[in-house]
Structure 1
Amino acid sequence: MDKLVAQFPKQIADAIEIASRSDFSFYKNKAFQNVVICGMGGSGIGGKMVSQLFENQASLPIILTQSYEVPGFVNEHTLVIGSSYSGNTEETLAAVEMAKQKGATIVGVSSGGDLAQFCKDNHYDFVKLPGGNPPRSMLAFSAVQLINILSKARIIDANAIDTFAKCRHLLNEELISIKDEAKKLAKHLYGKQCIFYADSDLEFVAIRARQQINENSKRLCWHHVIPEMNHNELVGWAGGDNAFAAVFFVSQFMSDRNKKRTELSQEIIGKKTKHVLSIHGKGKSIIEESFYFIHIIDWASLFLADQMDIDPVEVRVIDYLKSTLDKA
């Protein structure tokens, strides 16, 4: 897993190369009214990232669905993107099948599997990703393809993918500081209950942190966003103590009001636990900053797993669940 995390900057370049070779027909003579991205787990986080990063730029709503169904509004004017790294995620396959029945335009993104066959059988556009790796390690590949699809459909800026190329340079330039921050984060989380907070515009960063600590470090944790957590969870910190470790991903691009809310939240939580850590973003855009945060998170999850003498790749409980469902 450490090799895959180390390759994250290169994966961005490789993903852009795949996007440059992708030839689509789905958008020709087609005017969409909304977009639905179907994806779970390590595949779904790319959809969450894209829907949040481009929601203010997009010309129409972009929705992520993580279930067996698509929303009721899906029809012939909807672009549905099925994102499943393995191509065999049952929830995603059920969702795109429902989208087909509703007459939606469908594009598939996977390394193969049943989703690839579904797209071939129904003459849908399809993007093939390199296979054989854990889905959570292939975020760059899925996110870049989603951006490319939305760009080709004229839903977001045609040059949106160019910003992702700059992320690679930032991650390479900041590698030493990224690993230093990751080691600090892993030490902060060791032996404690983890809680991640981020500005609402970067909720996907906090979700990524939760997912990576769950899967790579085999630890329970949760996340919340500012300002919403100020209306509920902050009160719950009355029961907090030093068994809890709070982490704030502090964006350069958050609003002045949310900056103040973050500072006050840290002050209040700091009265209940001495374990409060702030990680400040770097980068010239919110996209660059989000990749900076994610690279820190990914490394930290491996460092924490190493401290706990845990195999970060192993996900036997998920394999058991899937095999049992297949027999049901």
Structure 2
Amino acid sequence: MPNFGHYMRETLRLKGAETRAICREKLDRERIKRIVLPGAMGGSAIGVGVLKMLLANQGFETEIELWPHYPAPVRRLRPGDLAVIYAYSGNNEEQLLWMAPALEAGAQVVGMAVGGRLEQMCREAAAPFVRIPGEEFGLAQPREHLPVALILLMLLAGETGVARNGARRFELDEWLPRVDAASRRLTALAESHYNVDAPAEQSVAKRAALFLNWGTDDPSRITNILRTRDPVFWISALYEPIARRLENQFGECVEHPASAKIMPEDMHNEQEAYTQQWLETVWPIGEASGAEPPASSTVFLRFQGPLDGRLGVRADKLFGDALAGAPRIDFQIQDYGADCPMAGELEAILFCDLTRAFASIFRGVTPHYVHSMNYIKHYMATIEGTPGSTGTY
């Protein structure tokens, strides 16, 4: 998504005043103690994780929660909650099924979608609804909608006071110049480092896409396009949503499994499995017969960031020593300074989005159709208890 920064600015221009007015005129902001996005998954949920990451890395604690599950008696909304029913299409049952529990709990509700059944349900419940930009931006898929979701959720966080750094609230007006600077930096980076027309040797995303598919960024060394690799993304917990974004989008768009490993937790546990793949020359069970293990198909992408600190020392030892023989590429999350905060993390997401797009193209996959997912959604819409459906997802 090379126009990530542009979409952030356009969302603020088109929907900023409307969203602020809803918060100030239709919500009881004094009652709001927490924002919850119930049922949000996939492209409709990633904005929450990214927002929490961006604010946390600027020192803000946030009372914003993502509940990526269906309604269940063990998780109840409260009167002090603002339930944001956010669904790109407005027709996904995992979000729509939360409308009734939210109203019954006395929570305030805001719906956000391009339309669909959610708009009608909000109208029936006299709940505010924000029609989010979609195809008029050329964004026809939920996964492309991240910059829009990010700005809308940032507006809600600023207006409701659920993000604080000590006694200091996150005030969007105060941060707007820096958010704007970050969005413009992204636009410039898209042209200089992530231009889709750049040849592979000049494009970090194209090289990463080749490597994650086939273990090499040199097209001339790909001798068998059917022998693909299994990518693993290593990243600090401080930047987890970046790797989750690539993990989910690789599975959906490239149609190949990938996994995100969050450091230091997965270094403490799962690194053992990978080091044994590379350190052992024979399986103990086959040692007597001289059998050798098959070559590992795993390739690594390691994200490094300015907040890694001591974790970086530990990761350097792991990847430079125990996993020295494993195919790996690195991506450096940049620190662009106090006047342009958040830009480094957003650049990493831009890198992820373009990498999975190129990986899809190189594998001959068309990432606009999710047949299996839609099949299941249409099936669920036929089951009794589904809160209506237009048949469009």
TM-score, length of structure 2 as denominator length: 0.76
Alpha-carbon distance, 1:30 to partner: 2.1
What is the aligned length?
A: 322
Asked if the contact 1:217/1:301 (under 8 Å) is kept, the reply is yes
1:186 aligns with 2:186: no
Matched to 1:281, the amino acid is I
Measured against aligned partners, the alpha-carbon deviations of 1:136-180 in whole angstroms (never above 9, x if no partner) come to 011101111011011111223112454432232112222232352
Partner of 2:156: 149
Distance 1:324 1:222 in 2: 28
CA deviation after TM superposition for structure 1 residue 61, in Å: 2.5
Greater radius of gyration (CA): 2
1:221 Cα deviation (Å)? 0.6
1:174–1:75 distance in 2 versus 1, CA, 3 Å: same
> Would you say 1:118 and 2:121 are equivalent positions?
yes
Structure 2 residue corresponding to 1:221, chosen from 258, 265, 285: 258
The farther-off stretch of 146-155 and 283-292 is 283-292
Residue number in structure 1 paired with 2:184 = 169
Equivalent residue for 1:263, pick from 316, 332, 338: 316
**Residue type at the aligned position of 2:123:** K
Q: 1:192 to 1:150 in 2, by over 3 A?
A: same
- Give RMSD over aligned pairs: 2.1
Aligned to 1:210: 247
Equivalent residue for 2:349? 294
2-side partners of 1:19 and 1:262: how far apart? Answer: 42
1:50 and 1:147 in contact (8 A); partners too: yes
User: Are the counterparts in 1 of residues 6 and 184 from structure 2 also a CA contact under 8 Å?
Assistant: no
Query: For residues 249 and 298 of structure 1, do their structure 2 counterparts lie closer, same or farther at Cα, with a shift above 3 Å needed?
Result: same
CA contact (8 A) 2:179 2:341 kept: no
1:249 aligns with 2:303: yes
1:3-82 alignment runs, 5 A limit:
5-22=1-18, 23-24=21-22, 25-28=25-28, 30-38=30-38, 39-55=40-56, 57-58=59-60, 61-69=63-71, 72=75, 74-82=77-85
Partner Cα separation in structure 2 for residue 210 and residue 286 of structure 1: 25
**1:319 paired to 2:326:** no
Deviation at 1:78, TM superposition (A): 1.2
Distance 1:58 1:326 in 2: 40
Tell which deviates more after alignment, 91-100 or 186-195: 91-100
Percent identity between matched residues is 20
Q: Which residue of 1 aligns with 2:330?
A: 278
> Which residue type is aligned with residue 188 of structure 2?
E
Q: Return 257-266 or 43-52, whichever deviates more.
A: 257-266
Q: Relative to structure 2, which stretch is displaced further, 236-245 or 125-134?
A: 236-245
Cα deviation for residue 62 of structure 1 reads 1.7
For 2:231 and 2:105, locate their aligned partners in 1 and report how far apart those are by CA, in whole Å.
42
Please list every run of 5 or more consecutive structure 2 residues that lacks an aligned counterpart in the other structure.
164-169, 196-202, 214-227, 279-294, 384-393
**Unpaired runs of 5+ in structure 1?**
none
Please tell me whether the aligned partners of residues 227 and 258 of structure 1 are also in contact (alpha carbons under 8 angstroms): yes
- Describe the shift of the 1:123–1:322 C-alpha distance in structure 2 as closer, same or farther (beyond 3 A): same
Q: Displacement, 1:255? A: 3.8
| Contact kept? 1:19, 1:144, Cα under 8 Å | no
Counterpart residue type for residue 171 of structure 2: A
Are the aligned partners of 1:167 and 1:287 in contact in 2 as well (CA < 8 Å)?
yes
- Greater displacement, 115-124 / 212-221: 115-124
